[in-house]
Amino acid sequence: MTTMFDTYSLEDLQILIAKATVFRIAPRLTVEKRTQKDGIDLWCVNNQGFVLASDGEWESEGLSSSRTDEFIARTRFPFDVAYNMAMDATTDQPDHVRRTFYNYEYEIPPRRKPNVTV
C-alpha cells in the first residue's frame, strides 16, 4: 500500500516529526510529545487521559505533579516505540476504528484560509 509518507525523504519525515506535537491514530488514540524535565522530548500513547505503559496496560495520566519518575519511565518512549505501540493498540479495535486510523494517517487535511478582518 502506498501512503502519503512514501513521497517524503527520511530527512523530511524527521523534520515533520520534530515539529509535530500530536499524531492522531484513531478517534480517541493519539501519540503525543511530552518534554521531560531535562528538556528531552519523549512520546506517550494517550487514550482520553489514559496512557499506555510498557507492560501494555493503560494507566491514568493524572496531574503532572502526581507523576512519579517510575510512571514516566513506564509511559514515555522515543517516537518510533510510541508509534508502534499505538499501531499495535489499534489491532485490538473493531474494523471501523482501524479504517478511521488509515483515514487520519493517509489524508492531508485541506488548508484553510486565515480568518482576517481589516
pLDDT at 33: 92
Q: Assign 22 to helix, strand or coil.
A: strand
Note the pLDDT tens digit of each residue in 88-101. Answer: 887 655 444 444 44
What value does the mean pLDDT take over residues 34-42?
92
Grid coordinates representing 50? 489514559
| Among the listed residues 31, 53, 52, the one whose alpha carbon sits nearest the alpha carbon of residue 42 | 31
Residue 118 in any domain: the answer is no
Structural domain includes residue 24: yes
Q: Which domain holds residue 38?
A: 4-106
Question: What average pLDDT is seen over the chain?
Answer: 76
pLDDT band at 110 (very low <50, low <70, confident <90, very high): very low
DSSP state of 109: P
Number of domains in the chain: 1
pLDDT single digits (tens) 39-82: 999 999 999 889 999 998 999 998 888 899 999 999 999 988 99
